[in-house]
Amino acid sequence: MSGSEFDVIIAGAGPAGSMTAFHCGDRLGGSSILVLEKAVFPRRKVCAGGLAGRARAHIPFDIGRVVRATVDSFEVNGVLSKEFRLTYGEPVVYVVDRSEFDVLLLQKAKENCRNLVVKQGETVVGLKQELDRVTVQTDTSVYRCKVLVGADGASSRIAKSEGLVQPRDIGLAIEGSLAANGADASQDTIIVDWSTDQQAYAWVFPKGNLLSVGAAGPNARVPSLQARLGEFLRTKGLADDIPADTRSHPLASCNSRSGIVKGRLLLVGDAAGLVEPFTGEGLSGAMQSARLAADSIGAFLSGKQDALARYERLVRSCIIADLEAAQVVKSVFYANPELCCKILCDRPWVWSRCCRVLTGEYTYPKLARLLWMKPLLTQLGSAPGT
């Protein structure tokens, strides 16, 4: 193959793109792979960096050196008359700095993939699908490949250009960092706040010598999120204003009409809209879809013509079904947050199951079924979401 022809091109070197490349190293033998990334690493990534245990479980190498805090407790503000703290007793979330984490994943992909070429500072600007190949246009070059992976994040230009992904509600989040003073937040606790506007929430994540602070909500606007975060930080005595480095970024969830595969193109991670709609957690979907994508590409390149279509079915059954159940849990919570928080405080087994969803030992569909059972529904007095 010439220098511009590859078996696989991956657009985007975030967690979904790098992990797709990593897994391709195991499954595609000597196939040639090109990763195109518009930024130059290390780069800042707007993200709280909370890697749920279930996301970490999908990473087949040690990431200990980039874990800045290990969380087993949550402090919930703004719902009951007083804030309360819930502890699980075992790690639930590992907090990473995304610029360090993303560098590590890309490094591991390079180590695992014999024929991997990475081009940073090069943006994919267009693509053309033909029967037997895809032509990928960047701001500086043209490449060709047998399979293209769209891993270009929540605002995926690739998904839009191919008419894929119809987000249910484009959420918006803002995030910035504060220096951590010893007393500000313990390294094992995430603080969340649902006050004022129940559909939006604010947070503080411990990150070693920093705190990641932010706010998110469906259909939110930047000024309202900034006001929300500022008020929360003042109430907690953490800062008088939002951090100077605060930036916004969309949170995209897919819906049942969203497509994930078209011809020789498949989408992974945020590009496919795999963000969990209740917490905004997208790293699990990125990790899981990367592995499924590499499996399917391996099968496709060895002659299984329907392998890419099968990827879409797998993502629907393994990931999107989970996200839809998370949406049910979210509806139950927002139908009566006060009652839900009381139940979490009074019934440790409910709290434990919520944590086990995050660690990957339990699932959202099971949790949703549990919440639909009596006595919670009886106590809610109406169907969730009404």
- For ligand FAD, the binding residues (CB under 6 A) are 11-17, 36-39, 45-50, 123-124, 151-153, 157, 173, 175, 214, 249, 251, 269-271, 275, 280-283, 286
Q: Which structure tokens are listed for 9?
A: 């091109």
Which SS3 state, helix, strand or coil, does residue 9 take? strand
Strand ranges in the chain using DSSP code E only, listed in sequence order: 5-11, 33-37, 50-52, 67-71, 73-77, 84-87, 93-96, 116-120, 124-129, 134-138, 142-150, 170-179, 189-193, 201-207, 210-218, 247-252, 261-262, 265-267
The minimum distance between CB 4 and ligand FAD, in angstroms, equals 16
Which SS3 state, helix, strand or coil, does residue 92 take? coil
CA gap 228, 196 in Å, rounded? 8
CB closer to ligand FAD out of 13 and 79: 13
The minimum distance between CB 221 and ligand FAD, in angstroms, equals 15
CB closer to ligand FAD out of 271 and 371: 271
**H or E segment to which residue 3 belongs:** none
CB closer to ligand FAD out of 43 and 342: 43
The minimum distance between CB 101 and ligand FAD, in angstroms, equals 10
The minimum distance between CB 293 and ligand FAD, in angstroms, equals 11
CB closer to ligand FAD out of 173 and 376: 173
CA 201 to chain centre: 17
CB closer to ligand FAD out of 160 and 304: 160
The minimum distance between CB 213 and ligand FAD, in angstroms, equals 10
CB closer to ligand FAD out of 150 and 298: 150
Cα-based distances in Å from 194 to 197, 199, 272, 298, 333:
7, 8, 28, 44, 11
Number of helices and strands in the chain (H, E): 12, 18
The minimum distance between CB 373 and ligand FAD, in angstroms, equals 28
Q: Which residue is nearest to ligand FAD (CB)?
A: 282
The single-letter DSSP state of residue 317 is: I
CB closer to ligand FAD out of 157 and 262: 157
Closest alpha carbon to 49 in 168, 214, 199? 214
The minimum distance between CB 324 and ligand FAD, in angstroms, equals 17
The minimum distance between CB 275 and ligand FAD, in angstroms, equals 5
CB closer to ligand FAD out of 75 and 281: 281
- Yes or no: say if 361 and 55 are a contact pair by the CB < 8 Å rule: no
